[in-house]
Structure formats: C-alpha cells, structure tokens
Amino acid sequence: MDKFDVACLGDATQDLFFFIDDASVFCDLDTAVCELTLRYAQKISVNKFARSVGGNAANVSVGLTRLGLNVALVTALGNCGTGEWIKQELEKEKVSLDFVKTDLDRDSNISAILVYKGERTILSYHGDGGDRPEIVPPANWLYVSRSAGRNSGELFAVAIGLKKTDESLKIAFNPSEKDLKIPPENLDVLLKITDVLILNRDEGMTLIGEKFSQLTNGELSWADGLRFIAEEISKKGPKIVAITDGSMGAVVLKEQDFCCQMAKPANVVETTGAGDAFFSGFLAAQVYSLDLKTSLKWGIANSAGAVSQIGGVKGLLTKNEIS
C-alpha cells in the first residue's frame, strides 16, 4: 500500500447550528465573563439552522484534502443515519474513509451549537465505544487530535507505537485543554516525539502551569508573551510549537527561529473549526516543506476562510486560493 500524505486520527461529528438573537430569545452575552443566558423553561426561536461535518480529525482531513494532499481519516462512527450522513459528506471531499470503523454498539457523535453574535456555545454528545483504532494506514504524517472518547491515552499510545514502528513518521499533535489539565497516560511521551504541536493561548498557558505567573506582570508584549509560552513548551520536546490567539493572530517557534503573524481581517459568521482550519493550513505547508512564515500565513488564511462560513469545513481554502 502506498503511503498517505497524512493519516488523521481522532473525532468526527455531525454539527447542528442554531442561530439565535437576544431580541427574540431573551439571550444576553456578558462580555466580562462570557456567559450566554437563555430564558429558563421557554421555547427559544431560531433564526437560522445549518448542518455540517465537525470534529477535529474530520475538519483537518477535509482541510488537508482541499489543499491537495492524500489523506485518510481514522475514526469510529455509529451504525446510524448520522454516521452515514457524516460519511457521505466526507466522501464528497475525497477524504479516504477506508479506515473509518462502523461500530454497531455506539451512536455517532453529534453537537448542538448555539451561535450568538458570531460566537458559539457547544452542547456535545459523544457515543460510547472503544477509543483505540484497529488499523492506521501507512502515512508520512500522523495527525493526532483531542479525543472525543473517554480515554485519550489510548489514542496517544497508538501514535507512540506507530512512531516506534516507523521512525520516519512525523507527528502533528493537537491535545485538548482537558488533556492538559488532567494529563492522560502517555501525554509526556507523545510530546517528546511530536514534530508539530499547535495549541491556543489558553491551552499553552495550561501546559506550562505555574510558569504562567511570569506573564502576568505586564512587561511582555503580545508576541513576546506567546514566545515565552512556546519556548517553555518546546522544552517538553516538540520540534515546532505554534500558538494561536484568536482574532489577534498566531506565532510559531522552531529552535531559535521565531515568527509571528497578525490575524487576517475576516467577515466572521461563526467561529467553529477556526483552530482546525489553522492546523490544516499550517500542516499542509509543512508537508509541502514550506518555511515557517509561509506555514503561519497558510494557517491564518485558512482560519479566516473557515470563520466566514457556517461550520468547520465550508470555508476551507483550496491550494490555489491559499497561495
């Protein structure tokens, strides 16, 4: 079997979007604490409804495929209408589904996403089932995402085992904040063998723990603060560390090579999948052996495209569009 460019290991969901507004649903957003408030025990009117493929691994696999790469998704879906719908949508994107397992004993993952003024609140359901994939195809890169299942450590163990079997395999890693707050087994080992690690600012601060106090004295600029986070994380082993910071932009560090890029202006419809879009843009550039600055630009551009549409995949760019 020929190697795939990237095998994406992780989650696939069906995302259901419900757009609401404060005038009709008594919803308010307290920007100080970022709490969405709905009137209790009332019927809430929805202005717009949409459906999209979601989940970190699914979003990234679509993003990489649109950028011209040969990609396999490795995940599990339930034997249900939702699972069939997810597969049909991914087939349209030409993602290889040969390694997607249909589990008769589980439901597919599904999320209800409340969108208010461009930001979203996610109600997420994850079907019970095994977290360890049965087969992962040969690939030059392995993308390992945050687990929707109950045990991220099992996914991490798979990645570690594949690296032992094929030392040429490169690993791109995207853990969840939950994994960083309550580290599962194998997290430290996986970080040591990771080639590309991408986190948002909050996740980065969680990973460096008590060292974050050095950032609170106000003496560091935005870029220097993110560089500090990246430098501390790089001590754990990842060769390349990128830190995203929403509408501000992102930075990347590889040894002493440091780059920062401000966010690209975008017409934000909603922000689901912005981080996955950045990851697929950045990773695709790395697979194509492009430099760090270009990789950062690809990530920023892809993220801007994603937030301009509903869902994590509709606005993802093609290779011609991104370059």
Helices (H), the chain: 22-25, 56-66, 81-92, 152-165, 177-181, 187-192, 201-208, 222-234, 274-287, 292-307, 319-322
Separation of alpha carbons 254 and 256, rounded Å: 6
* Whether pLDDT at 190 is above 80: yes
* Whether pLDDT at 23 is above 50: no
* Whether pLDDT at 216 is above 70: no
29-49 per-position pLDDT tens digit:
555 556 777 877 888 889 999
Separation of alpha carbons 306 and 62, rounded Å: 12
Separation of alpha carbons 95 and 75, rounded Å: 12
Sorting pLDDT into bands at 50, 70 and 90, what band is 251? very high
pLDDT computed for residue 117 by the predictor: 80
Each domain of the chain, given as residue ranges in start order, spans 4-322
pLDDT computed for residue 26 by the predictor: 47
Tell me if 89 sits within 8 A of 56, measured CB to CB.
no
Tell me if 299 sits within 8 A of 278, measured CB to CB.
yes
Residue type at 243?
Answer: I
Q: Domain 4-322 classified CATH 3.40.1190.20?
A: yes
pTM (2 d.p.)? 0.92
Separation of alpha carbons 201 and 193, rounded Å: 22
Residue 51 neighbours by CB distance under 10 Å: 13
Cα–Cα–Cα angle for 165, 61, 281, rounded to 5 degrees: 100
96: which DSSP letter?
Answer: B
